[in-house]
C-alpha cells in the first residue's frame, strides 16, 4: 500500500513583498534611476514614497516591491553604487516600524451611519469630513490594519480612496541591515 504524501502548497518567491529603504541625496533624477533598476528587470513597484529627511539635503525612498529576496539584494547593491545614493537596505526581515495612511470616502446610508461609525472606531479611524451621503475616514497603521479596515467598510460602499504607500524606519539606530547581526572586534586589530 502506498503511503499518502501530504499536500504542501508551494509558495512562489515572486509573490513575497520586500520593503526597501534607500537614503539618497536630494537631487534631480535620482528617483528615476533607482526605479529604472526595477523596471529594467520587469518588476513592479507596489508602493513608493519619497520625502526629505531631517537633513534637507537627503531624501528617503521607501519602496515595496514584489520580488525574490536575492534580486532585492542585488539591486540594492547596484543602488549603493549610484553617485547620489547614501544607504540602501532591505527592511523586510528587520525590526522596523511600518505605517501607511489611507483616506477613504464611504457611502453612508441614513440607517447605517451609526454602525459604520462604530466599526470605524474599532480601527481608530478618524472622520475627516461628513456629508449626508458619506464619510471620509483617515486611517493610519500597518498594511494589514489598512486592508482589514477596507474589508469592513467595503460592504457599505467605497466611493473613492487614496493610499499614501508604506513608509518604514528601523527601530534601532545602531542596526543598519539586520538588528541581530553582531560584529565582533578582531583581537589582533583591537591590540593595535
Q: Is 191 among the domain residues?
A: no
> What cell was used for 23?
537614503
The CA distances from residue 93 to 76, 90, 96, 101, 147, in Å, are 15, 8, 9, 22, 21
Q: Is the pLDDT assigned to residue 161 strictly greater than 80?
A: yes
Grid cell 451621503 in the structure block, residue: 133
Provide the number of structural domains found in the chain: 2
Question: Left if phi > 0, otherwise alpha if psi is -120 to 50, otherwise beta: which for 141?
Answer: left
pLDDT at 44: 82
The DSSP code for 125 is: P
Residue 18 maps to a domain: yes
Contact between 118 and 135 (Cβ < 8 Å): no
Share of the chain above pLDDT 90, in %: 59
Residue 182, pLDDT > 70, answer no
Which one of 62-66, 132-136, 186-190 scores highest in mean pLDDT?
132-136
Q: What does the pLDDT read at residue 15?
A: 60
97 DSSP 8-state letter: E
Q: What is the mean pLDDT of the chain?
A: 83
The whole-number pLDDT of residue 180 equals: 38
Structural domain includes residue 185: no
Residue 149's nearest CA partner among 133, 163, 134 is 163
Nearest to 87 by CA among 72, 99, 96, 77: 77
User: Which CATH number is 107's domain given?
Assistant: 3.30.70.1150
Q: Summarize pLDDT for 101-148 with one digit per residue, the tens.
A: 999 999 998 899 999 999 999 999 999 999 999 999 999 999 999 999
- Report if residue 89 sits inside a domain: yes
Residue 11 has, within 13 A of its CA and on its CB side, a CA count of 6
**Considering 48, 74, 93, which residue would you say is the last residue of a domain?**
93
Give the pTM: 0.73
Residue 3 lies inside a defined structural domain of this protein:
no
Amino acid at each position: 500500500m502506498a503511503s499518502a504524501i501530504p499536500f504542501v502548497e508551494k509558495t512562489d518567491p515572486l509573490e513575497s513583498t520586500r520593503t526597501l529603504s534607500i537614503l539618497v541625496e536630494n537631487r534631480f533624477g535620482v528617483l528615476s534611476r533607482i526605479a529604472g533598476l526595477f523596471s529594467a528587470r520587469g518588476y513592479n513597484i507596489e508602493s513608493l514614497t519619497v520625502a526629505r529627511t531631517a537633513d534637507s539635503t537627503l531624501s528617503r525612498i521607501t519602496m515595496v516591491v514584489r520580488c525574490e529576496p536575492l534580486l532585492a539584494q542585488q539591486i540594492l547593491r547596484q543602488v549603493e553604487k549610484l553617485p547620489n545614493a547614501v544607504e540602501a537596505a532591505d527592511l523586510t526581515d528587520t525590526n522596523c516600524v511600518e505605517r501607511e495612511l489611507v483616506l477613504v470616502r464611504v457611502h453612508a446610508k441614513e440607517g447605517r451611519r451609526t454602525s459604520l461609525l462604530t466599526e470605524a472606531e474599532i480601527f481608530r479611524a478618524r472622520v475627516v469630513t461628513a456629508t449626508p451621503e458619506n464619510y471620509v475616514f483617515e486611517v493610519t497603521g500597518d498594511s494589514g490594519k489598512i486592508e482589514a479596515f477596507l474589508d469592513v467598510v467595503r460592504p457599505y460602499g467605497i466611493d473613492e480612496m487614496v493610499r499614501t504607500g508604506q513608509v518604514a524606519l528601523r527601530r534601532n539606530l545602531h542596526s543598519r541591515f539586520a538588528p541581530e547581526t553582531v560584529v565582533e572586534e578582531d583581537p589582533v586589530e583591537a591590540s593595535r
